[in-house]
Amino acid sequence: MLLLAIAILVAAAAATGAATLYLRRVVSADPAGLTVGDLLQVAGEIPRAAQDLLSRSAAAPAGRMLLVPATFFRELLAGSLGDGATFVGNRSLVVPPALAAEDAVGLLDRLVEWLDSQGGFGRGAVELEILQAPERGALPAASPGFTLVRAERTAGLLSGVVEATFQGADNRVSRVVLRARQAIPSAADGVRSGETVQVFFRRGAVTIEMEGRALSAAAPGQGITVWVADSRRSFAGTAAGRKVVDVELP
């Protein structure tokens, strides 16, 4: 039935011309070379601007998982896809094959789902380092209930050590310890495609402020292209905050 439902959605997307983007729930891959597009399956045509955004790096440091929520994709692609696109799924979790045994990946997936339901991850992408993996012999056959033992937070979001316990095989209590880091802020905290932005041109100690228009979306710290009408040209810069772009001049 699930495959039939997906087939119907794909057919509907093709018929209407609107794109449907399916988030891959768990991606077993080395995150070093990943792009944003590797975390999605796209049905239908998408604009070139959206294709460029999907080609951006989604890399995380070696030995860490990467959690990317649906809100991150929606806000990153909102300006280029418009209102017609449909997203299916609530997040994508990248787990390097060498990081966790195959039978432990399912438990880590359920733990991340549970932590997300507690409102711990926010709208941006999050790196998750495994400090203590679940014991192989303690893995339960069914989905366990988790108990949060420790949760370090910054501005309400998980950022630091997170420790949870669960009742595993033979009723043994086992634990998982992670370290969370808010890795890539949401595009909603930076610049959306098409927005009017303040562009700060910097050369040494000199700064000039002008108004521009964003030609792409970017979270703080990410590269972005802006059009400045007064100069009649575009510039490559860096999103520095909400509707703020820095351009370093040579």
Q: Which of 108, 177, 175, 176 is nearest to 143 (CA)?
A: 108
Would you state the pLDDT for residue 183? 77
Residue 20 tokens, joined: 């449907």
Which residue has tokens 């018929």? Answer: 15
Domain ranges, ordered by start, for the chain: 2-187, 190-248
What is the per-residue pLDDT for 228? 94
Stated length of the chain: 250
Q: What is the pTM of this model?
A: 0.69
Tell me the pLDDT tens digit for each residue of 85-124: 889 999 999 998 888 888 788 889 999 999 988 878 888 8
Q: Beta 91-94 vs 26-27: how paired, if at all?
A: parallel
User: Secondary structure of 131-198 in the HEC alphabet?
Assistant: EECCCHHHCCCCCCCEEEEEEEEECCEEEEEEEEEEECHHHCEEEEEEEEEEEECCHHHCECCCCEEE
pLDDT tens, position by position, 31-42: 677 888 999 999
| Whether the predicted pLDDT of 128 surpasses 50 | yes
Determine contact, residues 180/162, Cβ cutoff 8 Å: yes
- Looking at domain 190-248, its CATH class is mainly beta
